[in-house]
Structure formats: structure tokens, C-alpha cells
Chains A and B, each alone.
Chain A
Amino acid sequence: MSPQILIVDDEEPILSAVREYFEPLGYGVDCARELEEAEALLAHVRYALLIADLRLTGSQSAEGLELVRFVRERSPWTRTILLTGFGSLEVETEAMGRGVDAFLQKPQPLARLAAVAEELLRISP
């Protein structure tokens, strides 16, 4: 069965581009734009990987961290990648503390995102 991925970002072009790129690689891809939508999907679908933007609702938000926490508690089999245009050591440290598996800055070539995803799923328990 192809691994299921959940992509969470508030920008539609990013969602559709990542979906188009990952599907031919053999992944099943779901998309969500909001925290609640993502949590609902995570509660019902067994995702191998979550790729989430750090901020979904403005420059001060950090829903991505919320999602990582949610995954660690409710969906421990899901690997996590956080993406952010607002990278900082503090946020990265916080994310690592919450158990995120990878932290990448935007923009990022999708080939690299795919390589990180593949690596995480390969070493996945």
C-alpha cells in the first residue's frame, strides 16, 4: 500500500504543487489548510508522514507546533516535517523539543523535500 501523506499549508499553490509532485512518486496525498481540518484528518487516517507549515494564520501563529504535539500524542506512527519561511533557532529548538523529525526552510526544492520524506519513512519504526 502506498504511504499516505498529509500536507498542511494555507497557500493553495503549495498544496497542489506538493500533491502533484508526490503522487507520481507513489504516495497518497491529502491536503489541509487549517489546523482543525488537519487534526480531524489525522484522527481518522493513518498517515505515514505529515508535512506542515509552521504558520497557518498569520505572522505570529505556530499551528505547525500544535500539529506536531497532536501527532506525538494521537498518531505516534506519523513522521513529521515542519516547513517555515520564518526559521529561527528558538522555533527549531521548540519543534525539536516537541519531537518533530525534520525542520526545513522555505523555499525548498521539492526534490529535497521528497528526499527527506523518503529518508524519514525508510528509518520509520
Chain B
Amino acid sequence: MSAETLQALISRSALEWRLTFDALEFPLLLLEMDGSISRMNEAARALAGVTFEEAIHQRLEVLGDGQPWRTVLQLLAQAVASGERAGLQTREEHGRVWDVALSPAAGPDGHHWWVVVIHDVSERVRLEESLRRSETMSAMGALVAGVAHEVRNPLFGISATLDAFESRFKRRTEYRRYLDVLKERVGRLNELMQHLLDYGKPARLELAPAAPRQVMGAAVVACAPLAVRAGIELVLDVPSELPPLLLDRNRVVQIFQNLLENSIQHSPAGGRVTFRAEPTEDGTAMRFTVEDGGPGFRPEDLGRAFEPFFTRRRGGTGLGLSIVQRMAEQHGGEVAAANRPQGGALMTVTLPLSPGAPGAGGLNPDGWRGRMDGRNSERPKEEERPASPRDGPPP
């Protein structure tokens, strides 16, 4: 074989390896034993934002101090010390989750390298967490629903007895204050039971296309009496042309209703609560916001706003925002609590145009059944069924 032919074969072989190396979708690096970069594929260069020339023979630090490079450095130190494979899953503060592995490799001439393989496992981890959460929730939901239903019977016994007592002794003013306390407490227990039932509602959705403006309007109508009593102006600010969303209307009305009620209850009289909607920048989802002029969240409470039973409002059940979060997640959406720079709270719910849409965060794994599970009560909304005696909870 001539030297030229041999040279051609070697070049061809090198090209084949480079093409293969660069065709891999996940970042792959070959490091010298001292940690300097010997090879890195196209995916790794794209992730680090460097060219081949900038990185080759340089120390790892040239790739920056963000993730996953910080973890690669950490693993390298560990692997150098032990001489063995090292691996770690690492999570960026507000973003991706990386699986990083670093393994020793030896050539026939005794030369050693470290092979670094990096996988973006964010989506898988997110789905796993969502599945775990929904499994926990459905177990808890069944328990909570059972308890709530069992409590409602004796609760009716108490409230009916109070009603009968009141109708019989309505002229006896000395009983009034006792009655008022009892009735108020029974009302609160009833509200708690309703919230528990809502919170424990199975994740199965009944999806149908709906105009955002119409769904928002239904929630505003439902909250109007509360707003009037509290002296709050409710402002609905929605562009007329918004794409329809595929959603479970009853639940999304409830999401909005809970957010509006929360804002109304935290606003000073004479204040204003503004409800807006706009498509997200990438056009795959709709962003709904509720703003108020109340005191906003204490900084230390922001992380706990969606925790069940966490509330600072006297008489609140602490489930309103938990229900919002649960129902938004069932739609493959998300909810966030924040304070406005000028004061007051800003609640943001992002719902995908369709719960299965790409970039929408995907649907909660047990979210889509097309048919709602019938074990729990749907809370019928007044504006949907105004004239029928077949109605839900007491007003």
C-alpha cells in the first residue's frame, strides 16, 4: 500500500469519526488526564458557545462556570482522586437537569483519557416528578374526598337543626348572638369541605375549546357580588382577538375565580383588581394575570403561597391557591406568585393552548381522560345554570 493511499485511508477514517462524533445529539468530550480538552463534539461546542479552535487543548474552565461545566469540573477532581468513573445529576436553579458522567478510557499504547457524557434529562425528570406528585395527589385526593363527604352529612344535621331553631325562636333576640356564631362557623366548615373536595378532585379533565374572554368573563361574573361588597373595582382587560384554548371550563373558571377572590379579599376598599390575558411570546400558551393593590406577599411567604393550608388571611382555608396550582398543572400549565414593583400581588397563570401542545410543559400524566371522573362534586356555577332548582351548594 502506497503512502498516499494509507494517508487517504487515515484521513477518511478520521473524517468518519468526526462526523459520527458530531452527529451525536448529546454533548460528548474527550479530556486528557490533566483535564485539558482533547476533543468535544458539536453538541458540546454549541452548549458551551465555543468553537473547536477556542477549546482545543484548553483547560475545562474555558467552557465557563455555568452548568453542566461546573459539575464536569467537580467530577473530574473526584475521578482523578479515585481513578474511577464518576457521575452526578445536577439541577440548574431555575432550569435544566443534567446527567453528567465521566469515565476513564485507555488506548492500546497506554494513553489515558477521560470521556465525558452529558445528557439533558430535564423533560424526563419533570415528567417523573409530575407523575409522582399526581400519584400522591390522587391517593390524598381520595382520602380527602372521603372525609369531606362524611363530614357533610353531620354538617347538614347541624345546619338544619340551626335553621329549625332559628325559625322557631326567631323572636327571641337573646339567642341571636349564639345562632350567628354557630351559623358562621358551620358556613366556614362547609367552605373548607368544598375546598377539600375541589382540591381532591381527580385529575381527569373534560376538555373542550373555549374563548379565553368568555371563560374569564364567567369568573368575573361569579366574583362580582364579592367585589361589590368589598368595594373593589374588577377590571377585565382582554384583547378581543385571542385564540381559543382547549380546557376544562369548570376548572379554569374556578382557577380564575380563586385568584380573583384572593385578590379582592386582600385589597383595601376602593381598590382595583385587574384581570388580563395575552398570548405568550412563543405563541403556544396564554398568560393570564391578576393584579391587585393590596399589601402583596411577604418575601418569606412567596415560596409557600401554594402550600396547602398556608394562609395569613383570617378565616381563609389556605386551599384556594393550592387548588389553582393543582388545576393549572392538570392542564399542563403553571402558576406563579409575585409582588408588583409598585406594590400589590401579581398572580400569573400560564395555560397551553392545548394541554398536549409542544412547549406547553406537557399534560400531567394522568390528566387526559376526555371524561371527567364522576366521584366528586362539580361545583355548578351560578351563571351557567341560573333558572334551575337543580343547583349546587348553598349561596
Contact = CB atoms under 8 A, between A and B. Distances in A.
Task: Tell me, yes or no, whether A binds B.
Answer: yes
A109 B160 CA distance: 7
Nearest to A12: B157
Interface string B134-151: 000000000000100111
A85 B394 contact: no
B17 interface: no
Contacts of B149: 59, 85-86
A107 B377 contact: no
Contacts, number: 102
Contact of A106 (B156, B164, B168): B156
A111 B375 contact: no
Interface size class of B (residues with CB under 8 A): 20 to 34
Contacts of B159: 107-110
Contacts of B186: 107
B392 interface: yes
B163 A109 contact: yes
Contact of A88 (B376, B389, B390): B376
A70 interface: no
Interface stretch (A16-24, A30-38, A42-50): A16-24
A112 B190 CA distance: 16
A90 B374 contact: yes
**Interface of chain A: mostly helix, strand, loop or mixed:** helix
A86 B379 CA distance: 12
B224 interface: no
B251 to A, nearest CB: 13
Contacts of B153: 11, 85, 106
A15 B220 CA distance: 38
Given A11-B157, A106-B152, A88 B395 contact: no
Among B154, B167, B376, B389, the most chain A Cβ lie within 10 Å of the Cβ of B389
A107 B156 contact: yes
A89 B372 contact: yes
B393 interface: yes
Among A101, A105, A108, the most chain B Cβ lie within 10 Å of the Cβ of A105
Shortest beta-carbon contacts, A-B, top 3: A90-B374, A85-B152, A87-B377
9 contacts: A11-B157, A13-B158, A59-B150, A85-B153, A92-B390, A105-B152, A107-B159, A110-B167, A112-B394
Interface of B: 146, 149-161, 163-164, 167-168, 186, 190, 372, 374-378, 389-395
Given A16-B164, A85-B155, A111-B163, 16 more contacts: A11-B154, A16-B161, A17-B164, A59-B146, A59-B150, A90-B375, A96-B390, A104-B392, A105-B152, A105-B393, A106-B153, A107-B152, A107-B159, A108-B159, A110-B159, A116-B389
